[in-house]
Amino acid sequence: MLTSPYPVAAEDLSVHADYDSLKEAAEWYAALQDAQASAGQRAAWQRWLDARPEHRRAWAHVETVSRRFALLRVEGEREAAEKAVQVAARRTPPRRQAAGRVLALGGAGILGWLAWRFTPLPTIVTAWRSDYATGIGEQRSIVLADNTRVWLNTRSAIDVHFTLDQRELTLKSGEILVDTGQDTHQRPFFVETRNGRLQALGTRFTVRETGNDVLLAVYDGQVRIRNLAGRDALVRAGEQTRYSADDISGTALADPAREAWSRGVILAENLSLAELIAELGRYHAGYTAVDPRVAGLRVIGRYPAHDMGRTLSMLERDLPIRAVRTLPWWITLEPR
Amino acid sequence: MPRQCPRSMSATVPPVRQDLRALYADHHSWLLGWLRRRLGNAADAADLAHDAFLRLIVRPAPDGFATAGAARAYLRAMAQGLCTDLWRRREVEQAWLESLAAQPEIYAPSPEHRALVIETLMQVGEWLGRLPQNVRTAFIHAQIHGLSTREIADHIGVSQRMVQKYLAQAMLHLALIDAGLEPSGARRPQPC
């Protein structure tokens, strides 16, 4: 069984862009920037793109580079971005001096770099439009005007909309932990999700958008669900439930793991190795393959969400497996 | 992944694995004082001292430190880099905020958006910093304003053909960095 944070086309990882392909890709980029580029030129570009996997790989780098500028294209901020990027470019230390510096690609640096290299486009698009967003491996805690505290888990995005008579968060993707504050105006607090609307009743809870349904776990107070079909349910402290647009499942005991991430920990309470790796994949860009012979091994323990290296060595210690690093971002877990 | 460094004198001494806690106890207040003198600001100094030790956790010195002097030299080099980064970042942030403030419409970006933009500006600026001014400007016009080659040519006063060359040059430079075929510049691996 293979688990991966997102689908990766085999050719993307097995083929590397060579210098010549990149040079051609850069030339195509420049040619197509011409507003007068003809349909014939575009067709020629398409033929070039389809001719060899190296070309597609090279073009992917061109797209990634362009995507990196997305945040600087925000309407109303372009002039400011242009001026500031010129300042940043002029202040770049010369190469020699830079080489002597200690500032390594450490921590956030390398994660940030990996995150934008490998984040698929739809996630990035959602991220720009949201009021608050996190990338892969990033977590953030914010305090809203009413002292409500919200933790955004990895790859999550929310909009915040407070009006005179209500407080509303929209969960656009990912997972949040909400600790609601005492509102001086006593306005009700809602979380809008794809499948329904939640009303918090003085409370601490997590909401996770999984794609098919929404997982709600309540740790304090109560939360009322009303899904799109209009069905209601009340979830109390210590309970969790899943709901979709037309169904709400029965409540179960709230999973402490759903709260643990706000402390940077993944709690494995009898997860399979494949499940644990899928969970870890939410925090790390790249690709982790699990050999089917070890995918079903049971894992119990606490693992650091942000330290893939440490988690892997803990797993190697606890289980009869070894982690083989095929490429820096490609790890295979196989029997020892 | 640590780079292979030529063995230096200190590396011939059996490496001493320093306990981070001991390192912190021995050098934190010294580093804080050094940073405070340099920055003239206690809060920034505290932040950077914290950062410096955090980096040691994330990426410990390859062979530990043979002597207290070596540890301090390492910490000082790291703190020096952090100061330079902080000053650069402040300057870029200032330029961005001033330019936003100069706009007729009132505009207040959220702190999170601001942090993301500054991060992007720093990174992109670093990559573009290695390019000649005209090449950089052409590429910024294309990427940020979405201008065509003709419009860029009018802006910077060169031929369209030249703009196309500039754009290809800039894109190749950045694509090579993205493909890992060219070092990205200032964010370099560890010193030897």
pLDDT band at A128 (very low <50, low <70, confident <90, very high): very low
Q: Do B121 and A16 touch (CB under 8 A)?
A: no
Helix axes B133-144, B149-156, angle to 10 degrees: 140
Residue B43: the pLDDT is 85
In a mutational test of the A interface, the residue from B121, B150, B155, B162 whose CB has the highest number of chain A CBs within 10 Å is B121
pLDDT band at B106 (very low <50, low <70, confident <90, very high): low
Region A201-214: what's the mean pLDDT? 86
Burial class (CB in 10 A: 0-12, 13-18, 19+), A103: buried
- Encode pLDDT of A244-293 as tens digits: 988 999 888 888 777 777 777 888 877 889 888 888 877 776 667 788 88
Region B55-64: what's the mean pLDDT? 68
Helix axes B133-144, B160-178, angle to 10 degrees: 80
To the question of pTM greater than 0.90 for the whole model, the response is no
| Nearest alpha-carbon partner for B84 in B111, B48, B130, B124 | B48
Residue A4: the pLDDT is 31
Residue B158: the pLDDT is 94
- Encode pLDDT of A163-204 as tens digits: 777 888 999 888 898 988 877 778 889 999 989 999 998 788
Residue with tokens 């293979």: A2
Integer Cα distance of A19 and A32 in angstroms: 20
pLDDT band at B65 (very low <50, low <70, confident <90, very high): confident
Share of chain A above pLDDT 90, in %: 17
Region A207-225: what's the mean pLDDT? 89
Q: Do B188 and A101 touch (CB under 8 A)?
A: yes
In terms of CA atoms, which chain A residue is nearest residue B102?
A: A80
Q: How far is B146 from chain A (nearest CA, A)?
A: 9
Q: How far is A52 from chain B (nearest CA, A)?
A: 17
Q: Do B117 and A81 touch (CB under 8 A)?
A: yes
In this predicted structure, which of A177-191, A256-270, B50-64, B163-177 has the lowest mean pLDDT? Answer: B50-64
Q: Give the DSSP H/E element, type plus range, for residue A323.
A: strand A321-327
pLDDT band at A98 (very low <50, low <70, confident <90, very high): very low
Region B150-159: what's the mean pLDDT? 92
Other beta carbons less than 10 A from residue A215's beta carbon: 17
Give A 185-204 residues with CB within 8 A of chain B: none
**Whether the complex's predicted ipTM surpasses the cut of 0.85:** no
Write the Ramachandran bin of B180: left for phi over 0, alpha for psi from -120 to 50, otherwise beta. left
Region A108-134: what's the mean pLDDT? 44
Integer Cα distance of A183 and A149 in angstroms: 12
Integer Cα distance of A144 and A223 in angstroms: 19
